[in-house]
Structures are given as C-alpha cells and as structure tokens.
Amino acid sequence: MFVIISILLLVITSLVMLILRLSRPSFGYHWLIAAGGALVTWIVVLLLGITLPVSVQLISWGPRTAYPNSFIMIADQISWPFAVGLGTLILATLLTDVVHGYEMDWSNWASSLVVTALGLIGVFSGNLLTFIIAWTAFDIIGLVILLTQLQSGKSRRRAVWVFFSRLLGSICLLIAGVISVNDNGSFLLERVSPAAITFVVLAAGLRLGSVPVDSPLIENPTSRRSFGTVLSLVSATIVLVFLVRVALALENVELPTNLWVIIFSLTGLVSLLSGGVWILAHDELEGRHAFILGMSAIVIAATLRAQAEASLSWALAIVFSGGLIFLSSVRTKFSMWITLLGLVGISTLPFTPAWNILMLFASPLNLSLVLYLIAMVFMIWGYAHHASQLKLEPSGLERWIKVVYPMGLLLFPMVQISFVWFYLPEIGEVPLMGWILGPLICVLVLVGFFWQRRGGKVPQLMANSVNVIFTLGWFYAIVRTIYDYLSRFIHFISKVLEGEGGLLWVLLWIVLFLALSVISIGT
C-alpha cells in the first residue's frame, strides 16, 4: 500500500498546486505545499522499508497464459534504496530552493513532483514489460513538461531529439523482451536471455547518453539547477535500478566472451572520456551529464560482471552524491564542508558507502579494468575540484533560509551513510585488490587535486579534443553531411520526375527493372 501512496502523494500535491494557481493566481504559498507533500512522501517511502518485500499487480490483461504478471510493481532490497534516493532528492531540492525562492516559479516545483512520481513508478517496476511502459510514460510526460519550460525553438528541437533517442532505447528494451520471451517464455528479469543482453545494454546506453551535451536544454540558471537536476537524476535512476536487477539476473548466466569483451571495453572508454570532461568542466552543472554518464558506465560494467551489490552501491552514489553537489548552489566556508561530504559517498576507502564497487576488480582480471580504475580517479578528482569551489550566497537572506538550506544538503550524506550498515560486503568477499586499490585511488585523487589547485592545467589541445569527442560534434557533422546528400538526391529525382519527360523516365525505370528481373530469373 505504501508503494501506491508514495506515488499518489506526489501527484495529488502537484494537482493541488495547479488548482490553486488557476483559482487563486495571487496565492503565494506554493513552496509550503510542495515541501509538505515531499516531506510526507519521504516519510512514507522510509516506512515502506518495514514492509519489504511488497509486490503489487495493478493491471492484468489476459489470457494469463499469454501475459503472466503483465503489470507488476515490486518494493524490495533493490528498489527501496532507489525510492528513498528519489524521495530524498525531491525533498532536498525543495529545501535548497529557498535560497533562490524569489526566482523560482510554482511550475518548477509541480513539475519536479510529477517527474519524481514517474520515477518511482520506474523504480518499482518488476518486469521488462513494466519497465517499457514506465520508461515510455516518463518520456512522453517528461517531454510535455519540458516543452512548457523551454522558450526557444532550438531548445525545443533538442528536447524532441532527446525524446526520440530515449524512445529508441525503449524499442531496444522491447526487442530484448521479445528475445527473452522467445528463449525463456517470460518477460521476467530473473530469466533474461543472454542473447538479449546486447539490446539491454544498448537500451540503457541510449537513455543515459541521450541528453545533448553541447549546450544545456534548460537555459534559466535557477531552473537548470533545481528542475534540471531532478529531471536528469530521476531519468538516470529508472535505468540504474534496471541495471542492478539485470546484474542480479546474470549471476547464473554465461555471456558470450567476444561480445562481453567488446561491450566492456567500449563502456570503459565512455567512462574514461566522461571522467575527463567532468574534470575539465567549468562548474558542476556544466559537467553534470558527464558525471552521470561516466558513473553509469561503471554501473554497466558491474552489471556485465554480474555484481549486483557493486552496481547497487555505485548507482546509489550517483543519486546521493550527485544530488548533493548539483543542488549546492551556495558554498560558504561552512556549507562547502557539507558538499565535500559527498566525497565519502563516492570514495573507495574501506567501509564507505561505495566500497562495494571495488568488487569490480575481482578475478577474472583483464586489461579493460585499467580504464575503469582511471575513470574512478577522474570522477572523484572532479568531484573534489567542483565541491571545493566557493559560491557566494545572495544578499539579504533571512535566518530561517540559512537553517533550511544546509538541512536540505545534509539529507544526502545522512541517508546514504545509513545504508552502509545494510549493504556493506562481507570482509571475506572483498578481494585483496579491493583493499589495495581503495587507498591507491584516493592517493591519486589527492595528487591530481593539489596539482590542479596549484595552477596545473591540461594542455588546451587535449582538452579541446576530449570535448569534441564527448559532445559528438563529429557525429552530428557526419549525419548532417549524409542528410544533405540524401536531400540533394531526392530533390534531383523529384525534379526529373516532375519535368516534361517525367512519365518517360518512370517508364524507362520500369523497363530497366523488368529487364533485370528477367535476366536474373533466366540465370
């Protein structure tokens, strides 16, 4: 019951805000309503942990022999931490927005509540069919909300491109489901087919990498930090929880070696490149997509190695540590240390929340793991660099704002660290390499951090090359060139057919086609 209540609370709160806006345009307490709804939702999601596991089947279309468990939602040890992460994210977003409350519009808070509700549906999805429906619903409603936030035609076209690429990801997941049903007769994630793994990874990659990185979609700085962070992290979370479930399903499945090596190596290059862009970014918002994509690539690697606990701990680090730094719009000497607590959430030191990720380096070892090791160094290094930058607070802030704002930031490390006691690996499960690599990664991070603080800079040529590759400008140029040539060819054919001899040309093409057909049949 808590599963449905948590989703309905967010939707009802946003509807109340909409009704009040239409009936009383001068109403000035939208933030209180949004914050109250988010707080109650957060408490309900926390209470959900007492009742685990919970399974809810909302829709059942038959016959049951053809559609078993057609639409099912599950709250268990995998989905519940992500649900708590989303509840913490929306509550922290509203609490930290008080710093720039005079710049915020009620629609940003209402949109954030709806997006989080859709994210909870995706997090609680229990099979492939439910994931497909949840992903598609999130894309359609998210596009509608995003189009209301955007003003320029260029940004709207980018939003449509994002929707299209994510839709391709849903199609890939549907193909994976069809393959799985054909091989195992089930849409259940526990029975995912090895032949479908390629499409599963492709679907995750299309969704995680779909945001255009050459320029931000949301141009307003305040909305970009608030609603943009919620939209980015919620979109990533519904993919991350899916990857963790796939990792659990792959524990007893043997993947094709050649395919595994290719995907694993390509994912390693993506994580390494994203780490470089994350360090070179001007600020954390500019590098937000690189951070999410690079960290998610490491989650995909853990998934391919069937390490569910490792992928879970690193995926939660994206939500908690990422949410902390992206919502940190003011960093005085006091609040900066709260932001730096996010380093605990992604550090690889023993007994920290993300320590499980070092199980990625368990045997069998291969050369591609070096890419992930360097990528982890880059991710933590970039986080330390951005989190240590001071950001002055607006003048004239009231005292209650100075109290509420740090409380919103403190939610992230408090909740994440509390999960340590539930998800720490057994001492004997962590390989010896894990005990060595954790401190080694942190030492390398310190070296890079202090080198950068002392004025060290990456050569401009290298920085430009990394940005060009990551922003896919070269890819867009190739696609544009192909599109231009196709347009010219189609225009030429149309001009020929629409001319005075158009009918003769059509007859000539038909005769040639028939002649070739006769020759091929005769041979």
d(CA 510, CA 311): 58
Are 441 and 509 found together in one domain?
A: no
Give the chain's length. Answer: 523
Q: With contact defined as beta carbons under 8 Å apart, do 303 and 244 qualify?
A: yes
Residue 470 lies in a domain: no
Are 312 and 444 found together in one domain?
A: yes
Residue 502 lies in a domain: yes
Q: With contact defined as beta carbons under 8 Å apart, do 170 and 203 qualify?
A: yes
pLDDT for residue 189: 64
* Sign of CA pseudo-dihedral 191, 197, 199, 201: positive
Q: With contact defined as beta carbons under 8 Å apart, do 407 and 95 qualify?
A: yes
Are 452 and 490 found together in one domain?
A: no
Residue 383 lies in a domain: yes
Q: What is the pTM of this model?
A: 0.83
Are 373 and 514 found together in one domain?
A: no
DSSP sequence for 34-71: HHHHHHHHHHHHHHHGGG-SEEEEEE--S-TTTSTT-E
Cβ burial, residue 395 (10 Å; 0-12/13-18/19+): exposed
Residue 260 lies in domain: 255-458
Are 491 and 454 found together in one domain?
A: no
**Amino acid letter, 502:** G
pLDDT for residue 62: 53
Are 429 and 294 found together in one domain?
A: yes
Are 366 and 432 found together in one domain?
A: yes
Q: With contact defined as beta carbons under 8 Å apart, do 58 and 74 qualify?
A: no
- Give SS3 for 215: coil
**Token representation of residue 421:** 């006691």
Are 352 and 497 found together in one domain?
A: no
Last residue of a domain, one of 409, 443, 458: 458
Number of structural domains (the chain) is: 2
Gyration radius (Cα) of the chain, Å? 25
pLDDT for residue 213: 45
Last residue of a domain, one of 421, 440, 458: 458
Neighbouring-strand partners of residue 186: none
For the chain, helix, strand, coil in percent to 5 are 75, 5, 20
- 191-194, Cβ contacts within 8 angstroms, sequence gap of 24 or more: 191/249, 192/128, 192/246, 192/249, 192/250, 192/253, 194/253, 194/254, 194/255, 194/256
Last residue of a domain, one of 415, 439, 458: 458
Are 365 and 450 found together in one domain?
A: yes
d(CA 74, CA 479): 41
pLDDT tens track, the chain, 523 positions: 788 888 899 999 999 988 888 888 777 788 888 999 999 999 999 998 888 888 777 665 555 554 555 678 888 888 899 999 999 999 999 998 888 767 777 888 888 999 999 999 989 988 788 888 888 888 888 888 878 777 777 777 777 777 777 888 888 888 877 777 676 655 566 566 666 777 777 888 778 865 544 446 676 777 788 888 898 899 899 989 988 888 887 776 666 667 777 888 888 888 888 888 888 888 888 888 889 988 999 998 888 888 888 888 899 999 999 999 998 888 877 778 888 888 888 888 877 888 888 888 877 777 788 888 889 999 999 998 888 887 777 766 778 788 888 888 899 998 988 876 666 666 666 667 767 888 888 888 888 888 877 776 765 555 555 555 555 555 555 655 665 666 676 666 666 555 555 555 666 667 676 766 666 555 5
Residue 273 lies in a domain: yes
Are 401 and 509 found together in one domain?
A: no
Residue 310 lies in a domain: yes
Residue 123 lies in a domain: no
Residue 42 lies in a domain: no
Residue 367 lies in a domain: yes
DSSP sequence for 274-312: HHHHHHHSSSTTTTHHHHHHHHHHHHHHHHHTT-HHHHH
d(CA 454, CA 472): 31
Are 499 and 392 found together in one domain?
A: no
Q: With contact defined as beta carbons under 8 Å apart, do 386 and 311 qualify?
A: no
Are 411 and 502 found together in one domain?
A: no
Neighbouring-strand partners of residue 71: 59
